[in-house]
Structure 1
Amino acid sequence: MSKRTLLIYIRYLSLFMVILNIFSNNNEISFLPIILIMSMIINNQVRFFNFKNNSILSCISIAIEIIIVSFLQSSINSVGDIFYFIPSVLDVCFFKNSLLKYILLSIIALCSFVINLSASFGSATGSCVILIIISVLCIYIYNESLNKVNIQNLYDKLRISEDNLKKSNSDLEIYASSVQELAILKERNRISREIHDSVGHALSTTIIQLGALEKLLTNNKDLFELVKELRLFVNKSLQDVRRAVTDLKPIEYEIYQNLFKIEELTNNFTKLTNIDVKLTISKNTWDLSSVQYTSLYRIVQESLSNSSKHGKSSKINIFITFNTRDLVVTISDNGIGCKNIVKGNGINSICERINELNGTVEFDNSSNGFSIRASFPKHTGGDFIEKN
């Protein structure tokens, strides 16, 4: 049973006990007590359902109810009954303002004591003590309920923090894996290029020189055959080196080659602006067409510029995800954001480029900072770049 339902049951029970006590102790009831009873019930219900979030109106309603109760008890000579004040006590106990709560409870207890004092001092004291006990119990229930809500809120915050931490850890693992893979591809490509340019060039020059020497030794058959065999051996070695270079040069590098230019863009942007840019690229990449790459490059470039000039951000995250059917790029910053998104030349340019690729783009300023999420299908945007 919820707290609200329990309060309603107790409230209606106390009102029912008031009405039952009046009719059981009085054979004939005049018109005035009935009017007062109806006024008390209406005032009580209006306060509970309409004034529960307004302390001032609730205080006025409670004061009116105390006046009605005093007139009602004097008109029917019914004293010593605490049920008249229970609805007011319940409402006051659940006030958020502690000082106001205790002041009103003291006033209600004092009014009960004064009203019931005409019967006897013991009756007045007993009614006052019972109201104080009920008030203490209600305050205890309220505090327990408040603590439960606070614990639940704390638990929710911890759960959200845990989810965010897991997401950040996952993003960090993806980022580290992406950076490591890109570094390996770059290094393999550099080594293959160095072997091709140094060893390959030296062997090619040696073959040319041996060929020239071979022509000069046509009269010396023994040296001619020796030089010829040496030339063929060096030529075979050159072919082995070329095969090794081809095997060493990563095929994935050509897929990543355009993405390296985006990485260079982010690195240069960081050097110029001192803004921390984290670029994460998924492993499952595929070739970008010239139009796709140009659009992706310009989107990242424009987003970086906007985050620096308008967002005043200090950190930017870029996620480029290659799915089986489309590419998704998400760019978010921790800047000041904006209340209303005004589509200037930069944002319009992003929208136009994505529309040309039959994609979609979304702008989000609901959280801290600003984010762009754009996607376009894999097979769109013109011819694909051929591998060399």
Structure 2
Amino acid sequence: MKDLYTVGSRMLVQKMFKGFSLFSIFTTILQEYPGDTQSILFLTLIAVILLVNDFTRIRFQNQTKALWYVSFILSNIWAGFLLFKVYCIGTQIYIIILLVEIIVSTHKIPVYILCLHFSIFTASLIADHTTLKDILSSYLVIISIVYLFRNVLIEKARTQELNQELQVANSTLQEYSNKIQELTISQERTRIAQELHDSLGHYLIALNMNLEYAGTIMDVETDKAKLAIHKSQQLSKECIVNLRQTVVLLGEERASKELLQSLHEIFDNFLETNTIQFELDMDQDIEYVDSDIKHCIYKTVQESITNGIKHGKATHFSIEIHKYPDQISLFIHNNGADCKEIIKSKGILGIEKRIVALGGKVVFYSGESSGFSVEASIPKIAVNFEGNQEAHSW
């Protein structure tokens, strides 16, 4: 039943009905006009002309509309004439086929053509002594069925169009989904790399400083050297634990320690070296802000210290963390070598990314002769623009 709605199938059915109609017309002509060769030839010629005209119209229907209308009007006249002269099932079917073509095959039903068809249909049947009541009732039934069929075809066409749009939308959605998945994987890899860089980088810098310090004083101050070596062992163990936590718990929100305690643990990593000094001025209310903000502050301080020691050979760090009504401010300054041109390394880019992700701002600048500063502000109610939670492994 579904195949009947396709254009090719409808044309095939139409040809079958036309073939049957012409067979019925020729048979009826021979039966009604026996021995009247002239009438047989004339009516047969009309039927053949009608068939050729219809074939030509259908074959070239998309080229010239004016020719289509002329051809269709002629078909109605000849079909009506045959209906009058050769009243049979074949002529009735043929006149109905023309009605189907008017209603189904045209985008907008030409009313005047429909009126012409009705007039020819009515005139032919009245001439054959059919009552007007029967003509009207028959025509209304036929046109209702054909119009219903037209609506079915229109709805089917709309459904197919919507299905095609849906397929395109699904295809586009799948492409977006794949891109989002790739982006998510990429962001996750970047986040893991940044986490490992920040955490392990800090421990390795502290470990290296303690070992260098121990090597320097080994022969002079054995006790202090032992303490530095012990601290190095402790740092290596903490580094391993931190690595495991990062791999296993990355992406999960952990119960965090107090920020002040976590910052002092960073300072303690360099305590035995006696070469790095830290000054911390932090409002106690900072402990009550959002955990994402505290984690961001922690990572910023950690990476700033790591970078200051590694690149600037800094020996003194001043850290200020204050809470204001609408924002949290963070200022970190060290006395390391001056930096004429700031090239954003992975660590600095990580700091910037974390702060911006919370809706904050950060600037990096160096003094005229020495020192390097990090100044940041984060909204008190932070919004994570990336939509990702980071592992708060303090």
TM-score (norm 1): 0.51
Per-residue deviation, 1:47: 2.2
Equivalent position to 1:108, from 102, 117, 121:
117
Q: CA 1:65/1:99 → structure 2, altered by over 3 Å: closer, same or farther?
A: closer
Contact 2:22 2:47 in 1 (8 A): no
Correspondence for 2:170: 162
AA partner of residue 164 (structure 1): T
Correspondence for 1:120: 129
Correspondence for 1:144: 152
CA–CA separation in structure 1 for the residues paired with 2:105 and 2:65: 7
Contact 2:81 2:124 in 1 (8 A): no
Q: CA 1:58/1:115 → structure 2, altered by over 3 Å: closer, same or farther?
A: same
CA–CA separation in structure 2 for the residues paired with 1:153 and 1:197: 64
- The superposition leaves residues 239-277 of structure 1 with CA deviations (integer Å, 9 ceiling, x where unpaired) of 664687699789x9xxxxxxx99xx8xx99xx9xxxxxx
Q: CA 1:10/1:55 → structure 2, altered by over 3 Å: closer, same or farther?
A: farther
Aligned residues: 239
Does the residue aligned with 1:204 lie in a helix, a strand or coil?
A: helix
Does the residue aligned with 1:117 lie in a helix, a strand or coil?
A: helix
Q: What pairs with 1:1-388 in structure 2 (closer than 5 Å)?
A: 1-3=3-5, 4=10, 5-27=12-34, 28-30=36-38, 31-51=41-61, 55-69=65-79, 72=82, 77-78=85-86, 82-100=92-110, 102-120=111-129, 122=131, 126-127=134-135, 129-213=137-221, 227=222, 230-232=224-226, 234-235=228-229, 237-238=231-232, 241=235
Root-mean-square deviation over aligned CA pairs = 3.7
AA partner of residue 135 (structure 1): I
Per-residue deviation, 1:138: 1.7
AA partner of residue 231 (structure 1): A
Per-residue deviation, 1:108: 0.4
Q: CA 1:105/1:97 → structure 2, altered by over 3 Å: closer, same or farther?
A: same
- The superposition leaves residues 283-311 of structure 1 with CA deviations (integer Å, 9 ceiling, x where unpaired) of xxxxxxxxxxxxxxxxxxxxxxxxxxxxx
Matched residues, percent identical? 12
- The superposition leaves residues 201-252 of structure 1 with CA deviations (integer Å, 9 ceiling, x where unpaired) of 1442244134334xxxxxxxxxxxxx3x5534533643664687699789x9
Contact 1:110 1:128 in 2 (8 A): no
Contact 2:102 2:114 in 1 (8 A): yes
The runs of 5 or more residues in structure 2 that have no matched partner are 248-344, 357-394
Per-residue deviation, 1:126: 3.5
Task: Mark the structure with the bigger radius of gyration.
Answer: 2
CA–CA separation in structure 2 for the residues paired with 1:153 and 1:71: 41
AA partner of residue 32 (structure 1): F
Correspondence for 1:320: none
The runs of 5 or more residues in structure 1 that have no matched partner are 214-226, 253-259, 272-388
Correspondence for 2:274: none
CA–CA separation in structure 2 for the residues paired with 1:176 and 1:105: 62
Q: CA 1:130/1:15 → structure 2, altered by over 3 Å: closer, same or farther?
A: farther
Per-residue deviation, 1:110: 0.7
CA–CA separation in structure 1 for the residues paired with 2:53 and 2:229: 107
Does the residue aligned with 1:97 lie in a helix, a strand or coil?
A: coil
AA partner of residue 172 (structure 1): I
Q: CA 1:78/1:180 → structure 2, altered by over 3 Å: closer, same or farther?
A: closer
AA partner of residue 2 (structure 1): L
CA–CA separation in structure 1 for the residues paired with 2:17 and 2:62: 16
